[in-house]
Amino acid sequence: VKSDSGLTVPVVGVAGYKHVGKTTLICGMVQKFSSQGLRVGVLKHDAHGFVATPEGTDTHAFAEAGAMAVAIASPDGHVAGEWRLSTEPSLAELVARVGRVDLVIAEGFKSSEIVKWVLLSEIDRARSGYVMPDFCHDAGRVEKVLGWLVPGPPYQVAEDSRGVYDRNDIETICERTLQTFGFGVG
Amino acid sequence: VKSDSGLTVPVVGVAGYKHVGKTTLICGMVQKFSSQGLRVGVLKHDAHGFVATPEGTDTHAFAEAGAMAVAIASPDGHVAGEWRLSTEPSLAELVARVGRVDLVIAEGFKSSEIVKWVLLSEIDRARSGYVMPDFCHDAGRVEKVLGWLVPGPPYQVAEDSRGVYDRNDIETICERTLQTFGFGVG
């Protein structure tokens, strides 16, 4: 695990088991932050690899031919790309690559010691209460948890004194996130 | 047209009308250069805009929600991303974004004063001979043309003293490209 020091932009994580709703939550956060005029970047960690470029596209053809990097640019400032690096980039390297944004939301960076929201399903909560999911244990110090996000009441405060919030309460989740990084305070 | 000074990596262009075979040529060049151990990047300029991320993907969802940048990383060092910049990036900015490669092949950067191969169809050649296609006229000084690539003989030298080559002769095209940038000379 590389160090994540040297982050040039505030980064908030969204952690949780598969299919718990991380992508939906992140989309809600992106919408809310964007409506407030913030420029948001999203980083996603895919442990299983993925096909970035569909067959039939030029990008795919170039990558198949052996290109280490492919970038496509449009006059409206839209750039899409695909890179093959020699090793997994650190979170800091990815954040630097994201460029000029005000805030980065990171999904699935298990072993990064960033502050994070933890999404729990009803089953997660019933099974183990408000505990850091197993997969976070590498860097899962509870101090890094901004709060537990659950699908329904009760929303009482967990024993570790982290807050428990409705995962649909995007307003509060975003507000707390910004407070954490000192946005708009004062 | 922004300046393309400050290029950090050798960049060779591939110019030609639509459907003349630029992508096929570039794939052949990428394969050849890669087989020689060179790390190649490809930049493509898409004048008409494009959809980088197919519907149904998380990347698409994040971008739709308003994210200015989305990057997905795998443990094998594969990174894919999509960025919305405020304006069209210059070629130099794109080259910098491509990262650590030995050579960049650029398709469709009409108004960039990079050295370039010009692909001509038989119809192009019959119609106007070995002349810079119209769309290159902004920066289309013939001194920048490495040679004319045509689908068949004759391969005599054009009046302007640029070479005329079989577009399927990837070996020669790549060799000439490397010579231009001083690779492996001496």
Q: What number is the ipTM of this complex?
A: 0.84
Query: What residue in B sits closest to A23 (Cα-Cα)?
Result: B58
Q: Mean of the pLDDT values across residues B52-77?
A: 83
**Whole-number pLDDT of residue A132:** 65
- Determine which of B40, B64, B83 to mutate to test the interface with A (most A C-beta atoms within 10 Å): B83
Least reliable range by pLDDT among A148-157, B105-114, B128-137:
B128-137
Q: Mean of the pLDDT values across residues B143-163?
A: 82
Residue A154 confidence (pLDDT) above 90:
no
- Are A85 and B78 in contact (CB < 8 Å)? yes
CA B88 – CA A115 distance, rounded (Å): 34
Q: How confident is the model at residue A140 (pLDDT cuts 50, 70, 90)?
A: low
Of B34, B43, B98, the CB nearest to A66: B34
Angle (CA) A80 A81 A82, round 5°: 150
Number of neighbouring beta carbons within 10 Å of residue A6: 11
- Are B83 and A83 in contact (CB < 8 Å)? no
Q: Which residues contact A51 (CB under 8 A, 6 or more apart)?
A: none
Q: Token digits for A5? A: 């020091």
**Whole-number pLDDT of residue B186:** 47
- Are B50 and A42 in contact (CB < 8 Å)? no
- Are A79 and B79 in contact (CB < 8 Å)? no
Q: Mean of the pLDDT values across residues A134-140?
A: 54
- Contact list, B59 vs chain A (CB under 8 Å): 44
Query: What residue in A sits closest to B31 (Cα-Cα)?
Result: A65
Q: How confident is the model at residue A1 (pLDDT cuts 50, 70, 90)?
A: very low
Size of interface A-B (CB pairs under 8 A): 215
- Contact list, A44 vs chain B (CB under 8 Å): 58-59, 62, 70-73
Residue A178 confidence (pLDDT) above 60:
yes
Residue A176 confidence (pLDDT) above 80:
yes
Residue A173 confidence (pLDDT) above 60:
yes
**Whole-number pLDDT of residue A3:** 43
A108 three-class SS: coil
Residue A2 confidence (pLDDT) above 50:
no
**Whole-number pLDDT of residue B136:** 55
Cβ of residue B60 closer than 8 Å to a chain A Cβ: no
Least reliable range by pLDDT among A162-171, B27-36, B90-99:
B90-99
Taking Cα atoms as reference points, which of B168, B180, B45 lies closest to residue B116?
A: B180
- Are B98 and A69 in contact (CB < 8 Å)? yes
Q: What percent of chain A has pLDDT over 70?
A: 82
- Determine which of B42, B57, B86 to mutate to test the interface with A (most A C-beta atoms within 10 Å): B42
Residue A14 confidence (pLDDT) above 90:
yes
Q: What is the mean pLDDT of chain A?
A: 84
Of B34, B52, B79, the CB nearest to A83: B79
What does the pLDDT look like over A70-124, one tens digit per residue? 988 888 888 888 888 878 888 888 898 888 899 999 998 867 788 999 999 998 8
Cβ of residue B56 closer than 8 Å to a chain A Cβ: no
Q: Mean of the pLDDT values across residues B26-35?
A: 97
Contact of B30 with A62, CB cutoff 8 Å: yes
**Whole-number pLDDT of residue B3:** 43
Cβ of residue B40 closer than 8 Å to a chain A Cβ: yes
For residue B11, report the phi and psi dihedrals to the nearest 5 degrees: -125, 125
